[in-house]
Amino acid sequence: MSIRLVAMADGTDGTMGMKQAIWSMKDLIDLEYFLQQDENEQGESAQAALAKRDREIYLNKIRPLEKKNQALTPGRVIRSWLEERRTSEERSAASLKAPLPGEAFADIYRLMGYGFLIVGVLSGSGLAFSLLNYRGTEPLNVSVYLTALVLSQCLALLLLLAIRFIRRMRGSPFRGSVVFTWISGLMTRLIVRMKEGPLKGLEGSQRGSLEAVTGLIRGKRQVYGSLFYWPVFILSQVFGIGFNVGALTATLLKVIGSDIAFGWQSTIQFSAQAVFRMVQTIALPWSWWVPADVAYPSLSQIKGSHMVLKDGIYHMATQDLASWWPFLCLAVLTYGLAPRVMLLVMGLVFQKGSLSRVNLGHAACVRLLHRLTTPIVATQGALPQTSGAGIERGDTIQTPEASVRDQGDAMCRTPIIALIPDDIFETCPDNDLENVVFKALGCAIREKMRFGQDLKGDEEVLQKLAIIRKEGLVEGLLLVQEAWQPPIRENLSFIQDLRTASGDRTMIWVGLIGRPRQGAVFTRATEEDVRVWQQKLKALGDPYLGAERLAADNE
Amino acid sequence: MSDGIPEFAIVGHPNEGKSAVVSTLAEDDTVRVTPYPGETLVCQTFPVVIDGKEVIRFIDTPGFQNPKRTLKWIKGYRGDPAHILSAYLETHAKDPDFRDDCRLLEPIAGGAGIIYVVDGSRPVRNVDLAEMEVLRLTGRPRMAVINCKEDETAYIETWKSEFRKHFNAIRVFNANQATYAERIELLENLKVIDQDWGPALERVISAFKEDWQQRNGMSAQLICDLLETSLSYSITRSFTETTSEKSLKERLQKEYASAIEQIEEKAHRKIRKLFKHNIFNYSLPIHSVLNENLFSRKTWQFLGLTPVQLIAAAGMAGGAVGAVLDLAAAGLTFGIFTSLGGLLGAGWAALGGGKRLARMKVVGLNLGGEQIQIGPIENIQFAYVLLDRALIFYAHVINWAHGRRDYPAQEHPDKGPAKAGLTFEWDDRKRKICQAFYTAARGRDDPRKTSARKALMEMLQEVLLDISSSETRYGVVAQK
């Protein structure tokens, strides 16, 4: 059951000013925040209240947005839901002026961008100024300048590329990056501070949601992959750009405003010719568009600026001594500023690309969609909305189940594979199973598999799933489990094996049932048992794993 | 088991009543219960120590985490069968997934017997069969205990038939039965599974029985003391013209009632201390008669008196207190008031086959003032009420399975009240003894007192032993 977002070709859709379907960072953060808030509601009555609220949002705000004959994609649905939650949260927290995490993130990000830029400029210019401190007794050593400002940056660049390459080989591109950890940690601390400030003492659920958000920014949510690495990357490039701009500006200012002499020196007796060749090589990138006499010092100028300390500088020609500065500036520009600008642009492009490819298929999103699109059936009186909507659309009067299917319920298009324990396989009537699964998950069953008889049988199930996956078709799994059995290591290992066999993003549902009663298999599990299972499953840390209660209608 | 002491490892799923069995065998409430598998940190050991020497040991183990894989490994083992378990432990010592399984099999590898506890009210599953097979292949003596958490009996036969294939002995654990009896029966069952342990277990059983008798003896003593004190309790207060008689009456009655309550509570506490209770809660089953006020309407009505009788009793108390003014000289009012009181209570039929009228005797002493004395109550019914309450309390105290956290409280509000008022059913012999005690306690004849007390104590011990071995639930009052 994976849901892919479709990026809209044009940004507008002409109805009620809805924004583009492409997610921004801010949106993802807010989404995670709200999803986590809802996940924290554990009890059954709380779940029912959530379902009611979301269904109302869907019916009142989202459904009207549908154009004729074109159902909304799941991504758009979730986006609209997010907008709605935002407005209602703002309304309720209006007096407290506490920003949502997404907004807080955006603000902090912008501030950090400026901050990094300023710090970069200051440090670059500071370094340049200190390097260009000329007293008149001896010329400034060109190699010092080059090492400090150009070579160091080249090395940093090479290091970055090398690390990225190694990590990519190893398969985990962004874990363990020191810069990432540090900057993301800073960001999260600031966000939490911003949110906590006006609200003394967060409620438990809000605190939990904030934790989720910080986990998200720190790259801990494997759902989003490396998405949150890019903002940090961009920030470091901004710093680099600031640094280079600062250094360049400082150098130019110094050159324009004060008298500086440059020279080169070495214990090794290089000939001027050798140095000239070195300089030419370094100046290669810009020598083809800058006139030669500016691009780098000529041979005579190099000869003239060769420093031997014991001889002093009195005898050296000013023109030779001053001839180095364009070369140095251009070196900083080419080897410092230009790569950083390129990396910045690259970062922005990749970030945008990542955002457009965001795949919201994990458990919390699927649950949300299910809550939004499943009609709430009340047993007193006629079924609300569904039959009304059916008639509106010009359909013939259908049974509720059929009309649910028709309402663009995107989730139902891919039936799931049900894994039934050997203990109840024989006594489990297909009809009941289908009904119960449809009620809980809104989808049909495409295949039943038996497991739990012995280890060999389980192996075969896993192999079968791996084969199905090779053909690219494991959309979702349901593992029926008697909740009163304790979740032991073997159960959890089997679930982990299922994950390996069926792919990283396949939804796996654990359907919890209670003790069999008078022949009925799908009874209600006790709250305590459900709680134990939920806790153990949560500890596996798999966002595409969820627990659902399976119970027949009369339970 | 290098020290030759028989050990028993208790194996089972969390939340299936394993801890109820453990706490019954070990008479220890500190058995830790957690519903989350894989979270037991330590295997609790419960030794039985007689005269300072450890005689047997019970070990609470965590549940299986990998029964099927363990079974597979054991079946695939090709070495010396005598070392199968130590080989398993060696192979899996470093594997964190198998930590609990190793902990479970360690004592068994060391020679412990096995007590396997299941919840018989739920169906048998493949996991259970795997566990049973593993235990069977260990070759150790093993007993299965079926514990029924819910009322479902459909699966018990299946359990029993599976158990017969895998275990040396089977027992259906009865949580309704008093702990004492249940423990003795469990131990008797254990004797069967290995002959070598017979003597040690026999020692334990007789030690338990003796210990229980002793505790019963002390309880009987405490109850006798309670009765003696209450039956001879009286309060005396002087009053002047300015004090209103009515308010004094009320006040005294309240004081008397609370004094009796306190005496009773003290006695109950002492009884409770005899039975090692940490978890046992003060709040008894909600509808127990013990929560009712001793002198309140409900109690009297409940314990067999009709409303009319109750009014009579109330009138009796009031009338007796009111029959106060004792003019030493004349003595006329004395007679009038007491006879008034007696008339009020004339319609009142006493219980237990005798027809007696209750009288509150009032004695006044006067030298320049007047006094009221309340009590002692000259109503044997009162003694029976106290006895009933004490016995009901005892019945609750000795049964812990209900107090366990993993045992759902068996409330059946729609059924009528369970048996209440044990003394109801006593035969003449017992009543005679009570009567004799009652009379002696209020008199001054010391030899009579001693012999009556002795007889009562013996009878009470009998009664307490009966309660220990029976299954009835006492003292439930239906709410209107």
Give per-residue pLDDT as tens, B311-364.
Answer: 554 445 444 444 433 332 334 444 555 444 444 433 333 332 222 322 233 343
DSSP category for residue A149: I
Chain A interface includes B95 (CB < 8 A): no
Return the higher-pLDDT residue of B395 and B476.
Answer: B395
Q: Determine the average pLDDT of the residues in A361-371.
A: 79
Contact: B122, A489; criterion CB under 8 Å:
no
Q: How would residue A462 be classed by pLDDT, with cut points 50, 70 and 90?
A: very high
Contact residues on chain B for A486, CB-CB shorter than 8 A: 13-15, 35, 37, 63
Determine the residue among B33, B39, B75, B126 to mutate to test chain A binding: the one whose Cβ has the most chain A Cβ atoms within 10 Å: B126
B65 → closest Cβ in A422, A453, A490 = A490
- On average, the pLDDT of chain A sits at 78
Q: Determine the average pLDDT of the residues in A287-305.
A: 83
How big is the CA angle at B215 (ends B209 and B217), to the nearest 5 degrees?
A: 105
Count of beta carbons in the 10 Å neighbourhood of residue A56: 13
A455 → closest Cβ in B15, B37, B68 = B68
Count of beta carbons in the 10 Å neighbourhood of residue A281: 10
Q: Determine the average pLDDT of the residues in B288-297.
A: 37
**Whole-angstrom Cα distance, residue B29 to residue A304?**
97
B99 Cα to chain A: minimum distance (Å): 10
- Decide if pLDDT at B287 tops 50: no
Is the predicted ipTM greater than 0.90, yes or no?
no
Give per-residue pLDDT as tens, A27-36.
Answer: 888 888 888 8
Count of beta carbons in the 10 Å neighbourhood of residue B322: 20
Give per-residue pLDDT as tens, B172-201.
Answer: 887 666 678 888 888 898 988 888 888 989
**Whole-angstrom Cα distance, residue A212 to residue A163?**
29
Joined tokens for residue B200: 């040690």
A536 to chain B: closest CA residue: B36
Q: Nearest CA to A490 among B254, B57, B101? A: B101
**Whole-angstrom Cα distance, residue A85 to residue A77?**
12
Quick check: A336 and A244 in contact, CB under 8 A? yes
Q: Nearest CA to A528 among B131, B35, B193, B389? A: B35
Q: Nearest CA to A408 among A395, A420, A417? A: A395
Q: How would residue A286 be classed by pLDDT, with cut points 50, 70 and 90?
A: confident
Q: What are phi and psi of B324, to 5 degrees?
A: -115, -50
**The sheet that has A416-421: what strands, in order across it?**
A445-451, A416-421, A476-482, A507-513, A545-549
Per the rule left: phi > 0, alpha: psi between -120 and 50, beta: everything else, A394 is left
Residues of A with CB under 8 A from a CB of B: 421-423, 452-455, 482, 484-490, 493, 515-516, 528, 532, 535-536
Q: How would residue B459 be classed by pLDDT, with cut points 50, 70 and 90?
A: very high
> What percentage of residues in chain B have a pLDDT greater than 90?
23
Contact residues on chain B for A528, CB-CB shorter than 8 A: 35
Per 3-state DSSP, chain B is made up of helix, strand and coil in percentages (nearest 5) of: 55, 10, 35
- Decide if pLDDT at A114 tops 70: yes
- Decide if pLDDT at B415 tops 50: no
Chain A interface includes B438 (CB < 8 A): no
Chain A interface includes B127 (CB < 8 A): yes
Residue A96 parent element (H or E): none
- What pLDDT score was predicted for residue B421? 64
Chain A interface includes B282 (CB < 8 A): no
- What pLDDT score was predicted for residue B277? 58
How far, CA to CA in Å, does A321 sit from each of A91, A140, A151, A329, A497?
A: 68, 9, 22, 15, 71
Q: Determine the average pLDDT of the residues in A373-386.
A: 54
- What pLDDT score was predicted for residue A222? 65
How far, CA to CA in Å, does A383 sit from each of A406, B14, B132?
A: 16, 44, 51
Contact residues on chain B for A540, CB-CB shorter than 8 A: none
Give per-residue pLDDT as tens, A501-531.
Answer: 988 878 899 999 999 888 788 999 988 889 8
Q: Name residue B237's beta-bridge partners.
A: B372
A490 → closest Cβ in B15, B66, B123 = B66
Q: Name residue B170's beta-bridge partners.
A: B144
pTM above 0.90, yes or no: no
Chain A interface includes B126 (CB < 8 A): yes
- Decide if pLDDT at A3 tops 60: no
Determine the residue among B16, B18, B33, B65 to mutate to test chain A binding: the one whose Cβ has the most chain A Cβ atoms within 10 Å: B65
Return the higher-pLDDT residue of A252 and B285.
Answer: A252
Q: Nearest CA to A534 among A492, A474, A472, A471? A: A492
What's the alpha-carbon Rg for chain B, to the nearest Å? Answer: 29
Of the listed ranges A350-354, A385-389, B104-108, the least confidently predicted one is: A385-389
**Whole-angstrom Cα distance, residue B327 to residue B346?**
26
Return the higher-pLDDT residue of A458 and A106.
Answer: A458
Is residue B446 exposed (0-12), middle (13-18) or buried (19+ Cβ within 10 Å)? exposed
- What pLDDT score was predicted for residue A270? 79
User: Please, which residues have CB within 8 angstroms of residue B256's CB and are 6 or more apart in sequence?
Assistant: B233, B235, B374, B375
Name the B residues in 9-38 with CB < 8 Å from any A CB. Answer: 13-15, 35-38
Of the listed ranges B16-30, B265-279, B364-378, the least confidently predicted one is: B364-378
Highest mean pLDDT range out of A129-138, B58-67, B306-315?
A: B58-67
Q: How would residue A214 be classed by pLDDT, with cut points 50, 70 and 90?
A: confident
- What pLDDT score was predicted for residue A420? 94
Beta-carbon pairs below 8 A across chains A and B: 55
Chain A interface includes B100 (CB < 8 A): yes
Joined tokens for residue B239: 């009053």
- What pLDDT score was predicted for residue A68? 60
